Amino acid sequence: MASHYEAPIRRPLVTGEKSYHDVTVDVARPVEGKANKQWWIVFSIALTAFMWGVGCIIYTIGTGVGVWGLNKTVGWAWDITNFVWWVGIGHAGTLISAVLLLFRQKWRMAINRSAEAMTIFSVIQAGLFPIIHMGRPWLAYWVLPIPNQFGSLWVNFNSPLLWDVFAISTYLSVSLVFWWTGLLPDFAMIRDRAVKPFQKKIYSLLSFGWSGRAKDWQRFEEVSLVLAGLATPLVLSVHTIVSFDFATSVIPGWHTTIFPPYFVAGAIFSGFAMVNTLLIIMRKVCNLEDYITVQHIELMNIVIMITGSIVGVAYITELFIAWYSGVEYEQYAFLNRATGPYAWAYWCMMSCNVFSPQFMWFKRLRTSIMFSFFISIIVNIGMWFERFVIIVTSLHRDYLPSSWTMFSPTFVDIGIFIGTIGFFFVLFLLYARTFPVIAQAEVKTILKSSGQRYKRLRESGESLVGAGSVDAVTADKAKKKSKK
Amino acid sequence: MSTSKTYWKNIADLKSNPELDPNRHNEFVEHIPVDEFLGDKGTLENSQTSRRDFLKYVGFSTAAATLAACEGPVIKSIPYVVQPESIVPGIANYYATSIANGYDFASVLVKTREGRPILINNNKLDQSGVGANARVNASVLDLYDSQRLKAPQISGTPTSWVTFNSEIGQKLNDLTAQLKPIVLLTQTFASPSTTALVNEFLSKFPSAKHLTYDTISQSAALDAFEQRYGKRAMADYDFSKALLIVSIGADFLGDWQGGGFDGGYSKSRMPQNGMMSRHVQFESNMSLTGANADKRIPLKPAQQKQVLAALYAKLKGTSVQTNLSESVLSTVNQTAKSLQKSGSNAVVVTGLDDVDAQALVLEINTLLGSKAFNPNAPLLVRSGSNAAMTELVKEMNSGLIGAVIMAGVNPSYTLPNATEFNDALAKVDLTVSFSLKADETAANVKYLAAAPHYLESWGDVERKAGHFGLIQPAIRPLFDTLQFQDALLAWMGSAVTYYSYLKTYWTENVLNGSEWNQALHDGCFTNETTSTAQEQTLDLSNSVAALASAQDQGMALILYPKIGMGDGQQANNPWLQEFPDPLTRVTWDNYLTMAISDAKELGLFMETDGTDATGGLNGRYAEITVNGKTLKAPVIIQPGQAKGTVGLSFGYGRSAGVKEELQTGVNAYPLYDGFNATQTVTVKAVEGKHEFACVQLHNTLMGRGDIIKETTLEVFNTKSAKEWNAMTMVSLNHVETPVDSPDVDLWDEFDRSIGHHFNLSVDLNACTGCGACVIACHAENNVPVVGKEEIRRSRDMHWLRIDRYYSSEDTFGGDDERKDNISGLSDSLSVFGKMELPSENPQVAFQPIMCQHCNHAPCETVCPVAATSHSKQGQNHMAYNRCVGTRYCANNCPYKVRRFNWFLYNNNDQFDYHMNDDLGRMVINPDVTVRSRGVMEKCSMCIQMTQKTILDAKRDGRVVKTDEFQTACSSACNNGALVFGDINEKTNQIVAKKNDERAYYLLDHIGTKPNVMYQVKVRNTKEV
């Protein structure tokens, strides 16, 4: 992707007079530098939460799933809610890195690395739940179609839960490969800059011997494109399959054909919100404001607004169809959602997911960093409640009123959820200190077309030759100073 | 003796050999070069065993020794030294016997495996038709109760029977010499041989007398019958012969007059030839009987008396002054008219503890010439007298009594004046109690006799005049026990055992020439003499006047036995503790039942349905006072409870001989003043919140009439089934198509007409909700008991449950109508909210729900590991050892019948019930897996039983007999409500059920195609 000409009307994607070397230094800085106090504080909190979660998981596996708040009527609650929530969050990463790559959206370059890291880390959290929610998690491998000596026993290919196994594992592996491929030149960059032998050794291992030859770059481009092509259907398929867990059932409130698009939209919605949450912090902490600009945040806010509205339409469609179907069980399920004992959860979901993103119609609000951060948190809360509402309120009052009951989480339910948040942040914080958090090789490719400095030079008719060198930039800066 | 003997080992030893002599004490004849070897470094280095080898050997032997020291759990299984002829491992033996514990009397068939009784069945040979109720079904577990007495005790110290009996024999002789009265205080045995034996005892010890004591007294009924017919018994009723049943406070589907009337009742409730009985119930508490009635009028006890008086007057054509309200009076008049019209097809019963009322009912039934009423072969299962018991305590208190020998009674717990009794007992010289456990009375007696369980005893019973039953042991006594009758014989100095006494007695007095062995095999014997009871003509005008002028002072308390707990002697039975009450569906508790309006008035009503976030039911506490005695009990709102009355059940609040976890509820006996179940009470709200363990938190049907389809007899008789049991239609391309049509089927149907195909039919008319099937299922399928906390968290494990619904309007039909007439969103919001609340006097419906064994089961498709799958025979299988526990199947089950093992429920100190000790585990059915934690379980349609039937037929080289296939629930059902069988064999009863116009499938619109069907409930709403 050579430096194409870009219209001056387009705002620069890389601000702050960056030279190629500046990009390298900026990206390598967190990796080469020492962690500051804040990092350690946040890391300790995350680690504590993670350890608490591990404790709760050990307690669950040691004693029985009975330590959760589930019962005979509500067989899934926080476990699958958390599962769907984390899978949903994962979607933004793939969408940004794969779909936007195919659509040649260059603004993705600043955020795709972290978004995809978020994908992988959140899919790891998601993957935990289907395993630990089992009554006998030590037999979890039975859901894999592996040749066995149990007789002629094989998995049940009719079961959406089995499709989940395939969907999630495919998703995790493709995302991981895609992410790592992108990381290779950046790891190589760190390797080449490393002075400590140990560090050099590690990064040369991680970079798979990247040499920077033209052939390397050519293959890199090809593989990226192929993987983007593979990952794109996954954006749609994974959450579609997750939604099948519910859609193929016979429970009113679950048995809904609208679920696949509704779930995918919701996933992208929550994923972008999480990207916003993470990157707004990260750009500040790692001094990456020049790469992750307000423009990036604004674009993501627009996606949040659109997907939020799609989700809103889905909610209303569900209500309409319940009424229109004339099926009394369906009607009651939705009436009960909105007015029953869990109405608070429903309205929490409605206000967080449907009403709150509508503020993004206002440019002032969607370009406000604090407000974006606030909304991103709200959306994540709302999307958690969406899954809770779908799962718990449908189950707790289904066909036979004699089985109707309530669900209330125990400290273990809560502990495991907090634990996964802790685990997620442990991974993300480690990532932020050891990985190149911005795809610097890719950003460098757009520096000439979308970098602020080059744009300015091009507009003023100056030559771009050698403009990116360290000397030129230093000279330029000196010139500016003297002008002042 | 001389010690010159020399011992030699071999010839060389004997004959001295100079060559061998020096080596004689050398173990190794040849020199072993130990020192040379160890001293020479060179050889050591060259030797085969290197240092490393040595370490290897040391390591290996250490590891081996360590491993050998680790012992796996040793499960001792001791083979028979001599194989008993009749016991084949894996094959069950059956013995007919009877239970007669003073409260429950039934003829039963005991299933034993490898010598262990594991299940109680109905004895189908017993024609008198009394089936095993829930408590009798559960009684097998009492045999394996870890709290049982293991040996006789004198003053708390275990002793031998020889010492025990000789001491007592000595004392009895001394007392007789002193002419001090000896009292035998026993349960009602209804045992002819025991009566004869006791009489012999009385003649041997002339100062002795025998007193029977029924914990829940039927003295009024007995007195009335005695006055009229000269015999201390109770009239028998065969409700199958009645077309109009009027009950005034009689819970005859419960334990009224010994119980056992439900089989006949259910027969009359199934519409046949356009006829079924009509049942009118006047009562205060919502009883199981009232719940089954066609018309139920909640009244205070005094009003019930007035109703009876008015009814009698009306029948007689006279008039009587009562202060009943207009509406009640018109019902009474209407009922009287119907009674007159029905004549001999009608029957009136009452449960009022009032001799007048009981006498009046006998008169009314005689007047009607009721076919259902039988005074000729009366019931003998109760015989206690209130007056005699009161007198005894007085005598004991005055120090007149020399000895009190108790058997099968626990007066320290059950007497209203138990403290007085205990004090009086201290004044008695000789106190003996025969008991299964160290119960409340045991603490107050010197001689505590360990009694055997009825499954370890001999005996006989005459439940009803002329109808005999035998009690035979099904297992050798587990502990050092001796039954009361044997002890009596021992004390009398007799050498015969009770067994030979019994056999002789039967040969001489009962069998009438028939074979003893046959009678023992059958477990029952009928020798009915067709004598007509001699009737006394009594003047009842005083009775009528007394009844008509009955008044209630303030609030009335009606004490009642709960279906699951009876009189409380089985309180240490975890099955029964966890048995949901058919009406309140509360487990592990008793409580004050109260009308909602009273509760609100007294400040005892809890807002927000009284539930908390986990859904658990909560209640407030009330302090109730009867004659100065005060009790604190939790309050439950009981729809249908008559205003101004409260109910409280007996049988709870045990304090001795019961595990701590099972010491639940409050003891109502102290309030049972004068053995009258009706008491005047004051109720006051007190602080605190009670946590109930209720398995059903939602009480109404929400207008979902397709779940319990019902109609009236009139419609049933006159209209086509399409109107009252319409086929469910679904839309296929906007064309209404029957749901069973292959066109709307997602799957290809295969031929199910080959081989066996099992179906189960549940007749909602015949089912009274008694719950015998629930316990039978528990016992057959090793269903775990999970305890109060788990039940409260909606984690009951019952494979078979009986849902109970109350109508929100006056009738369920009204509910449906109200729901159908909802228009608009705001209307639906308010109406559905209101429909969650039951009406003050609702209609009640029971619906047994077990796995529906859907041919298109939603659970089967969603299991990722195919742990649940369908059989060719229609059963939905559950492979426990394949289950990984995702619970997806339970979520996707529209009937919510799947139960998850949240914890390890067996062999776990957290769940210290019968499965946690070796004794309790003896009840486990070896044919059914005990489920581990983390797996899903559910009704299997007793596949172990159907397979057994198939294998039996195969072994015998025959086809399976008609109706030979049974499940635990279907064989436990006394009422014919549950019918099981193979639909591919046209002679089976189930085929007729399947083709019955009343048959429908639950939630069939989902397309699940269940193998369980229900029969539409028909109510007889029209006055005769």
CB B190 within 8 A of CB B380: yes
Q: Do A249 and B862 touch (CB under 8 A)?
A: yes
User: Closest to A332 (Cβ–Cβ): which among B832, B849, B864?
Assistant: B832
Place of tokens 């309409």: A320
How are beta strands B153-154 and B447-450 bridged, if at all? Answer: antiparallel
Query: What stretch(es) of chain B map to CATH 2.40.40.20?
Result: 552-694
The helix/strand/coil state of B610 is helix
pLDDT, tens digit (0-9, with 9 covering 90-100), for A118-170:
999 999 999 999 999 999 999 999 998 888 777 667 899 999 999 999 999 99
Q: Which residues of B touch A69 (CB under 8 A)?
A: 614, 793
Query: What stretch(es) of chain B map to CATH 3.40.228.10?
Result: 225-379
Any idea what DSSP says for residue B35? H
What is the rounded CA–CA span in Å between residue B852 and residue B485?
Answer: 49
CB B223 within 8 A of CB B233: no
The confidence score (pLDDT) of residue A1 equals 39
Q: Closest Cα to residue B851, out of B835, B874, B872?
A: B874
Q: Is B908 on the interface with A (CB under 8 A)?
A: no
User: Closest to B865 (Cβ–Cβ): which among A75, A142, A405?
Assistant: A142
The answer, yes or no, to whether residue A318 has pLDDT greater than 50, is: yes
The helix/strand/coil state of B349 is strand
The confidence score (pLDDT) of residue B77 equals 72
Compute the mean pLDDT over every residue in chain B, rounded to the nearest whole number.
89
The confidence score (pLDDT) of residue B127 equals 74
Q: Is A156 on the interface with B (CB under 8 A)?
A: yes
pTM comes to 0.89
**Which of B691, B694, B902, B1008 would you mutate first to test chain A, the one with the most A CBs within 10 A?**
B902
Name the helix (H) or strand (E) containing B213: none
pLDDT, tens digit (0-9, with 9 covering 90-100), for A31-86:
888 888 888 999 999 999 999 999 999 999 999 999 999 999 999 999 999 999 99
The confidence score (pLDDT) of residue B607 equals 67
> How confident is the model over B795-811, as a mean pLDDT?
93
Kindly identify which residue of chain A lies nearest to residue B897, measuring between CA atoms. A72
Residue A12 pLDDT class (50, 70, 90 cuts): confident
The answer, yes or no, to whether residue B648 has pLDDT greater than 50, is: yes
Tokens coding B303: 């009003």
Q: Is B896 on the interface with A (CB under 8 A)?
A: yes
Q: Which residues of A touch B894 (CB under 8 A)?
A: 250-251, 398-400
- What is the CA angle A342-B813-B892, rounded to 5? 40
The answer, yes or no, to whether residue B261 has pLDDT greater than 80, is: yes
| Residues pairing with B636 in the sheet | B593
pLDDT, tens digit (0-9, with 9 covering 90-100), for B38-73:
777 776 667 677 778 888 899 999 998 888 877 667
Write the CB contacts of B948 (distance below 8 Å, at least 6 apart in sequence).
Answer: B927
**Which of B862, B869, B1008 would you mutate first to test chain A, the one with the most A CBs within 10 A?**
B862
Tokens coding B532: 């007509």
Write the CB contacts of A407 (distance below 8 Å, at least 6 apart in sequence).
Answer: A69, A70, A71, A74, A77, A392, A395, A396, B614, B615
Residue B573 pLDDT class (50, 70, 90 cuts): very high
> Mind telling me how many Å the CA of A141 is from chain B's nearest CA?
9
Kindly identify which residue of chain B lies nearest to residue A333, measuring between CA atoms. B832
DSSP code per residue over B515-577:
-HHHHHHHSEEE----PPPP------HHHHHHHHT----SEEEEEE-BTTTBTTTTTT-HHHH
The confidence score (pLDDT) of residue B1019 equals 93
The confidence score (pLDDT) of residue A468 equals 66
CATH code: domain B225-379 is 3.40.228.10
Q: Closest Cα to residue A323, out of B827, B824, B815, B728?
A: B824
- Range 252-311 of A in CB contact (< 8 A) with B: none
Q: Do A70 and B887 touch (CB under 8 A)?
A: yes
Query: What stretch(es) of chain B map to CATH 3.30.70.20?
Result: 710-1019
User: Closest to B886 (Cβ–Cβ): which among A133, A249, A251?
Assistant: A133
- Range 10-39 of B in CB contact (< 8 A) with A: none
Query: How remote is the C-alpha of B729 from its chain's centroid?
Result: 41
Residue A2 pLDDT class (50, 70, 90 cuts): very low
Burial of B330 (0-12, 13-18, 19+ CB in 10 A): exposed
- Axis crossing angle, helix A160-193 with helix A214-247, rounded to the nearest 10: 150
Residue A263 or residue B78, greater confidence: A263
What is the rounded CA–CA span in Å between residue A462 and residue A448?
Answer: 13
What is the rounded CA–CA span in Å between residue B613 and residue B346?
Answer: 50
Compute the mean pLDDT over every residue in chain A, rounded to the nearest whole number.
88
**Which of B783, B789, B794, B837 would you mutate first to test chain A, the one with the most A CBs within 10 A?**
B794
What is the rounded CA–CA span in Å between residue A7 and residue A12?
Answer: 10
Phi and psi angles of residue B536, each rounded to the nearest 5 degrees, phi first? -95, 135
The answer, yes or no, to whether residue B20 has pLDDT greater than 70, is: no
CB A20 within 8 A of CB A465: no
Q: Which residues of B touch A64 (CB under 8 A)?
A: 901-904, 933-934
Percent of chain B scoring above 70 in pLDDT: 97
The answer, yes or no, to whether residue B982 has pLDDT greater than 90, is: yes
Tokens coding B127: 């024609």
Q: Which residues of A touch B907 (CB under 8 A)?
A: none
CATH 3.30.70.20 for the B710-1019 domain, yes or no: yes
How are beta strands B244-248 and B278-283 bridged, if at all? Answer: parallel
What contacts 24+ positions apart, CB below 8 Å, involve A20-24? A20/A444, A20/A447, A20/A468, A20/A469, A21/A469, A21/A470, A21/A473, A22/A473, A23/A440, A23/A443, A23/A444, A23/A447, A24/A189, A24/A193, A24/A440
Kindly identify which residue of chain B lies nearest to residue A151, measuring between CA atoms. B882
Q: Is B859 on the interface with A (CB under 8 A)?
A: no
> How confident is the model over A309-327, as a mean pLDDT?
91
Q: Is B738 on the interface with A (CB under 8 A)?
A: no
- Range 796-855 of B in CB contact (< 8 A) with A: 796, 801, 803-805, 819, 828-829, 832-833, 847, 849
- Range 94-133 of A in CB contact (< 8 A) with B: 130, 133
Report how far apart the first and last C-alpha atoms of chain A are (Å, whole number).
Answer: 37
ipTM of this predicted complex?
0.91
- The residue type found at B109 is L
CB A384 within 8 A of CB A11: no
Q: Do A250 and B858 touch (CB under 8 A)?
A: yes
The confidence score (pLDDT) of residue B645 equals 94
> How confident is the model over A237-243, as a mean pLDDT?
92
The confidence score (pLDDT) of residue A478 equals 75
Phi and psi angles of residue A157, each rounded to the nearest 5 degrees, phi first? -70, -5
What is the rounded CA–CA span in Å between residue B91 and residue B86?
Answer: 10
Name the helix (H) or strand (E) containing A127: helix A112-132
Q: Dihedral angle at the C-alpha atoms of B947, B949, B952, B954, nearest 10 degrees?
A: -70
- CB neighbour burial string for A436-465, b if at least 16 within 10 angstroms, e if fewer: bbbbbbbbbbbbbbbbbbbbebbeeeeeee
Tokens coding B640: 């249908």
Tokens coding A166: 């395939």
The answer, yes or no, to whether residue B232 has pLDDT greater than 60, is: yes
Phi and psi angles of residue A70, each rounded to the nearest 5 degrees, phi first? -70, 165
Burial of B967 (0-12, 13-18, 19+ CB in 10 A): buried
Q: Do B702 and A72 touch (CB under 8 A)?
A: no
Tokens coding A442: 């890719």
Write the CB contacts of A167 (distance below 8 Å, at least 6 apart in sequence).
Answer: A237, A238, A241, A242
The answer, yes or no, to whether residue A484 has pLDDT greater than 80, is: no
Burial of A396 (0-12, 13-18, 19+ CB in 10 A): buried
DSSP code per residue over B890-911:
HHT-TT---EE--S--SS-GGG
The confidence score (pLDDT) of residue B2 equals 58
Q: Closest Cα to residue A40, out of A364, A378, A474, A432?
A: A432
Q: Closest Cα to residue B914, out of B659, B535, B632, B616?
A: B659
> How confident is the model over B164-181, as a mean pLDDT?
90
- Range 66-95 of A in CB contact (< 8 A) with B: 66, 69-73, 75-76
pLDDT, tens digit (0-9, with 9 covering 90-100), for B893-924:
999 999 999 999 998 999 999 999 999 999 99
pLDDT, tens digit (0-9, with 9 covering 90-100), for B349-371:
999 999 999 999 999 999 899 99
**What's the Rg (C-alpha) of chain A?**
24
How are beta strands B373-379 and B234-237 bridged, if at all? Answer: antiparallel
Any idea what DSSP says for residue A141? G
The confidence score (pLDDT) of residue A412 equals 95
CB B798 within 8 A of CB B848: no
Q: Closest Cα to residue B148, out of B657, B626, B568?
A: B657
The answer, yes or no, to whether residue B1 has pLDDT greater than 70, is: no
Identify the CATH class of A20-393+406-451.
Answer: mainly alpha
- What is the CA angle B637-B640-B641, rounded to 5? 65
User: Closest to B1003 (Cβ–Cβ): which among A154, A399, A406?
Assistant: A399
How many cross-chain Cβ pairs, A to B, lie less than 8 Å apart? 182
Q: Which residues of B touch A142 (CB under 8 A)?
A: 865, 882, 884
The confidence score (pLDDT) of residue B784 equals 94
User: Closest to A156 (Cβ–Cβ): which among B819, B828, B866?
Assistant: B866
Residue B988 or residue A105, greater confidence: B988
Any idea what DSSP says for residue B622? E
| Length of chain B as a residue count | 1024
Kindly identify which residue of chain A lies nearest to residue B608, measuring between CA atoms. A341
Tokens coding B656: 């001795």
Choice among A5-19, A233-247, B1-15, B767-781 with the minimum mean pLDDT: B1-15
Name the helix (H) or strand (E) containing B878: strand B876-878
What is the rounded CA–CA span in Å between residue A441 and residue B258?
Answer: 90
Pick among 2.40.40.20, 3.30.1600.10, 3.30.450.20, 1.10.1370.40: CATH of B552-694: 2.40.40.20
What is the rounded CA–CA span in Å between residue A233 and residue A250?
Answer: 27
